[in-house]
Structures are given as C-alpha cells and as structure tokens.
Amino acid sequence: MTTVKDRVPAIEGWFSTGDSPALIGSRCRSCGTYAFPRETLYCRNPVCDGTEFDEVSLSRRGRVWSYTDACYKPPPPYVAADPFVSFCIAAVELAEEKMVVMGQVVAGVTVDDLAVGDEVELVLDVLYEDEDHEYLVWKWRPLTGELQGSPLAGEVGARNGTGAAGGV
Amino acid sequence: MDRDRQVAVLGIGMHPWGKWGRNFVEYGLAAARAALADAGLSWGEIQFVSGADTIRNGYPGFVSAATFAQALGWSGARVASSYAACASGASAIGAARAQILAGLCDVALVVGADTTPKGFFAPVGGERRDDPDWLRFHLLGATNPTYFALYARRRMELFGATEQDFASVKVKNARHGLDNPNARYRAAVTAEEVLASPMVADPLRLLEICATSDGGAALVLSSVEFAERHGSRSPVTIRAVSTVTPQFPQTVIEMPNFATDSAVAANDELHPGFRRSIALAAYEEAGIGPEDLDVAEVYDLSSALELDWCEDIGLCKEGEAERMLRDGDTAVGGRIPVNPSGGLACFGEAIPAQAIAQVCELAWQLRGEAAARQVQGARVGLAANQGLFGHGSSVVVAR
C-alpha cells in the first residue's frame, strides 16, 4: 500500500501554490523596485527611503540568462536523492521586474537542452522528501521544446549548435 | 602618488599552500615569522596586528589577530580582526594601512591563514533559514562552482569563448606555478588533460575549478619613514586598497544570492559592474591606469573567471580576453602577465590568506625575487579579488 504524502513548501512565504504558482516578491511603494526574496525593512534602492512594500507575484515566465548543472552531489543542507541524479540550474531574466532569479530546472532536462535566451516557466516540484512529507520548491521548465516536455524535443538541441555553445 | 598616502611593504612571508588539516594558527605563525625575518624586525617591535579571519576554525578564527598575537607571545600590541570572505585579506591590509597613514602606528603585521575541509565549501553549521548562504545550498543545491559556471556559460554566449580557451588558462597558470615553492600544485598540465577531467558544473571541469587549501600569508607594513630608518631605501609601497561594495542595481547574479537587484527604478543609469568598479577605485586611488601595470594577480576561482577579470581590470576591452590569452599576452614573458604565481589554479583557496598572498607575490615580483616566474622589470602591480556578499578587494603596489 502506498500513502500519498503531504506536500508542503520547503520554505514558507517564498512562493504561492495552486494552478499558477509564482514566486512571491516585494515591490517598493515609493520607487517600484522589486526584490526576491521579499524585502520587509528598507528599499534596496539607495536613493529611495521606502519602507512600505506590496507583496507581489513575480512573472511566471522569463528567459534564460545563463545555466549550468550539478554533476556532483552538493553538500548538506542540500538533501540529495540517493543515488544522486544530476540536475540543471538556470538564472532566468524576468522582463517586467528587470531582475534575474535562479532556480533548478525540472528533472530530465540536461545542459544540451538549454540555451541562453530560451523561454522558461515556473513550476513547483519536489525538492526532497522524508517519511511524512514531500517538500516543494520552484523550478524552471523550458517552454522552447514540447510544452509539457522533458526531455525536450530535438529543436532545442539544434539551436544550441548555432551560437557560441562551444563543445557542449 | 603623494608619498604621504603610501605605506611600505617591509616584510613578506608565506607558509606553503597544501592540504594537511593542521591548526590554521600554525600556518599563520610560520608566515608571520617569515615576514618578520624578511623585514629584519623582532615581534616586539610590531605595534599593530591585523588579522584576516577564518570562519571554519571555531572561535580562534573569529578573533584571528588576537589568536596570532597570543601565539607569537602577548606583547601588548593593538589588534583588529577582519572578515570579508575572500576579501578578508584586503580588509586586514586596509585596516593596517589606515592605522599607519593616520599616524596611529609606524609598523603593523597583517596575517591570514586557513585550514579547509575537503570538497565543496558548505555553509558553516547549524540550520539558518534566514541566511542566504545556507538557503542557496538547501533550496537550489547551488555550490560555488554553480555561480562560476553561470559566468563561464555567459562568456561563451556573449563572446564566443570555448572550452579550449578555458582550458588554456589552466595550462598557462600551471606553467607559471611550476617552480613556485609556495604553490600546492606544481605540475604542468595539457589542454587535453584539462578537457578530459570530469565535468563539475558545465562548462567547467575539475581541473578548472580552484581547490580549497590550507595556507598562510603575512606582510609587515610600515610608514615609508620607518622603512627608510630601517635601511629599506626603495621599498615596495602600497598605493591603493579598494574595498568597495557594489553599486545598485547589481544586475549580475552574485554568490550567495537567489536573485539580482531589480533595475526598474534605475533610470537606465549605467555603472560599470561590480568587478570593474573594484579595479576602477584602486586605479583612481593610485592615480594610475591599466596601461601602467606590469603584472597582475587576479582571482581565478575558475579558469573562465580569469578572462572576466582581465577585462574587468582593464587589460583589454570586453570580449577580447580570449584573444589576449591566445596571443600569449597574459603569460610570463608576454605584454602583461596575469597570475605569475600560478594563481588559485596552483594554490587552491585558503580564504583569509589569499588576498594577502596576492600582495606577497606582487611584492616579490617588484623586488625581482620571483625566480623562474619573474616578470622582468616589473614596477607596478595590481591584485584583484572579490568576497561573497559584496566585498571588493584590490591592491595596487609599486616601486
């Protein structure tokens, strides 16, 4: 018999759940500067005295600024699957917020499937689990290939060859 | 530059870099004694001790200046301890320099030493859910090489850098460090060997990412007058110490952050980017420009990052570092040698000692004491580095 584990955020207050999950950031009421994770004390903009912030959902889509992978198991407090499975990490540019946000890329995507400038969408996925819970975190899912897709369609690999992707 | 703003490098000392796991105090003490001997001073003549802290060695590491002072024998010297991650050494040099320039002391000892665990740097212990350094490991599995790799991939995308270019940096630095008695790795490598080493964080491979090391470095700094009184007629002098922070908005993702600053309120005002601003502040303070440099030590945490630094300290325009490397400009014997010590590629990183070690190397170069790695006729050198959480580190020395 299998039991369904409760799914809980790996960290409170950093992202919303539901059908269209989003990162929760802040926006300064004085100058409009966004922050992630959200700012609660003083605005990061040195010429702004703002201390009041709106909690806002950040854009769910952005474009890859750069990417890499983790070929070796990161040390604790990362909770790695056993056996360890390598994963990709992307830094993603959000146009409206004019900022770059990092995140893991969904399982099954390799660096060969990614290219700078690719459009990605935020999803929630399991980061790790224990006996009672699955802990959720945000991840980036490529939209360039098949929408649902991992592993991605060949179209993405072809694009990789056109640019400056070196020997990858 | 105005003589009143210079301090003399009177003594240089290092404990070799390696991996022994012994108490960091031992390495710092050896470096301090070597620097004192090199300066021809006794410990009792030191008026101020400036320590660069280590955070992985318990309480003694947090109060490093007092730890080293006690190890040398309590003398009543004044102390200050600095922590600025990889920039800790520059902070400690800056603190000593300020004391000397303010006339509060004539002669100071700067010491940094570390003992490091194996493998990836992990955050220091304890569950800290309000510490981005703890959280980036927990939520992303983002190690230090993750960030180095993001920059490397970006270089490939923007400037057409290749894996071969990155490997060539390692080959050059390995060659530089071959005969450096303080380097941990003293073996030539070929590009083929680099490219055959295991991928760690694509596109960076094991031989392209700096190791974590044990080591210690020390400097005796003094007023120019004090140096002259002690028979040092033409000492190497420090002309600038840049410990600047970034300028808002910081639009490049930096360790250990999850996100950059948002640039929506920035009115498209351009600032040069953090690494570039670190060097600019150093040049401005020294009253020189990149064209005046004979030698540079930059923080090659990864092979690819050295190429970023070459541009950030103004040795060439953006996107031209690969060409400089291919032309041999940054090798010893070339137009502007970079990392003649062998850099982190040959040393690995002993965090609080590293920025001090950069200055040790430059001072040896300017004295003409760098043996097989000597940059002929070197008169002006710059060291550049960057510490986690926004610590700039750049030092200009001249003779």
DSSP states of A53-71 = EEEEEPPSEEEEEEEEEE-
Asked if A76's CB is within 8 angstroms of B122's CB, the reply is yes
By C-alpha distance, the chain A residue nearest B262 is: A99
User: How many CA within 13 A on the CB side of residue B313?
Assistant: 34
d(CA A133, CA A127): 11
Lowest mean pLDDT among A118-127, B66-75, B125-134, B239-248: B125-134
d(CA B312, CA B277): 8
Mean model confidence pLDDT for chain B:
96
Per-residue model confidence (pLDDT) at position A151 = 36
Per-residue model confidence (pLDDT) at position B150 = 98
Contacts of A96 in chain B (CB under 8 A): 264
Residue B218 above 80 pLDDT? yes
By C-alpha distance, the chain A residue nearest B200 is: A71
d(CA A162, CA A104): 25
- Predicted confidence band at A160 (pLDDT cuts at 50, 70, 90)? very low
DSSP, collapsed to helix, strand or coil, labels residue A4 as: coil
Residue A103 above 50 pLDDT? yes
Residues A156/A142, Cβ–Cβ less than 8 Å: yes
Asked if B143's CB is within 8 angstroms of A67's CB, the reply is no
Facing A102 at nearest CB: one of B137, B142, B143: B142
Q: Which of B56, B124, B130, B262 best tests the A interface by mutation, with the highest count of A CBs <10 A? A: B262
Residue A166 above 70 pLDDT? no
d(CA A73, CA A29): 41
Q: Is A143 exposed, middle or buried (0-12, 13-18, 19+ CB in 10 A)?
A: middle
Residues B7/B237, Cβ–Cβ less than 8 Å: yes
Per-residue model confidence (pLDDT) at position B1 = 56
- Predicted confidence band at A153 (pLDDT cuts at 50, 70, 90)? very low
Residues B383/B344, Cβ–Cβ less than 8 Å: no
- Edge to edge, the sheet with strand A34-35 lists A34-35, A24-28, A53-57
Structure tokens at B248: 């808002």
Per-residue model confidence (pLDDT) at position B123 = 86
d(CA B276, CA B282): 10
Closest to B96 (Cα-Cα) out of B35, B23, B37: B35
Per-residue model confidence (pLDDT) at position B26 = 98
| DSSP annotation string for B249-264 | S--S--TT-SB----T
d(CA B144, CA B121): 7
Q: How many residues does chain A have?
A: 168
H or E element at residue B397 = strand B391-398
**ipTM exceeding 0.90?**
yes
Other C-beta atoms within 10 Å of B181: how many? 8
Residue B4 above 90 pLDDT? no
Asked if B122's CB is within 8 angstroms of A75's CB, the reply is yes
Per-residue model confidence (pLDDT) at position A156 = 30
